[in-house]
Amino acid sequence: LPYQNLDYLGFYDKSICVTGAGGSIGSELCRQILKFKIKKLILIDNSEPSLYEINEELINLKDKGIEVVPILCDLCDFNYLRKIFKLLKIEIVFHSAAYKHVPLVESNPIAGIKNNIFSTKNICTVSLENKVKKVILISSDKAVRPTNIMGASKRLSELIFKSFSQKSEEICFSMVRFGNVLGSSGSVVPLFQKQIENGGPIKVTHPDIIRYFMTINEACGLVLETIE
C-alpha cells in the first residue's frame, strides 16, 4: 500500500490523537499509526480496562522516539477535553469513539445520542479552537437513510462535521463510512456464529439482504488513505 512509505501521509513528527483508542477500530488505527515517524500518539478512551490494555500493548510496539499518552476521558466533558487539546498540541484527530451496537443504543437512546453526537461536537469545537490540521470521523453505513437511533446519531455526527468544515478553510474535516468490519466490536458476525453454534436459525434483517465485509486491518488502512 502507498502509505507504507512512512512520510507519505505527512505524519512525520506530528502529535496524533485517536478517540476510542481502546476499541477494535481505534486500537488498530493506533497500531498502524505507530508505523510512522510521529512525535506523539494520544490515546483517549472512557473505558479504563480498554485503555490500559491498548496502552500496555503500544508501549512494547512503539519506537523509542515516540511518546504514547493514555488519557482516561469522557469526550462529553468539554472543559477537560479543551485542556487536553491545548496542553498536548494535537495536530491530527481520528474520532473513532462511539456507541455502535444497534439494539443496545435502541434500548438506551439518551446515552447513545449523548455519547455519539455531543462528543462529536466537542471534538470539532476544540479542534477548531486549537487549529488542528485534520479531523477524521469514523462513521457508519447506517448513517445512510438511517432507520435506527444509532444510524441517526452517526448521521447527525456527519452533519456536525460538514458544518464545521464550512467554518474553516484551514482545517480538514473528513468522514469515512464503514459497513461490516470483521472482528470489530460492532460486527454482526459473532452473533451469527453463536446462532450457528446453537443450531440456528440465523436471524437476518431481510432474506434478500446483501452484506459486505472487510477486515479491521483493511478498514483502518482505508481510513489512513483519506489523510492524503
3-state secondary structure 58-87: HHHHCCCCCEEEEEECCCCCHHHHHHHHHH
Backbone angles phi, psi at 63, to 5 degrees: -70, 150
Contact yes or no for 115/95 (Cβ under 8 A): no
In the chain, count H helices and then E strands: 9, 8
- Active-site hit among 35, 142, 194, 203: 142
35 catalytically annotated? no
In sequence order, the 6+-apart residues with CB closer than 8 A to the CB of 153 are 98, 99, 105, 112, 113, 116, 117
Backbone angles phi, psi at 92, to 5 degrees: -135, 135
Any idea which residues carry the catalytic annotation?
A: 142
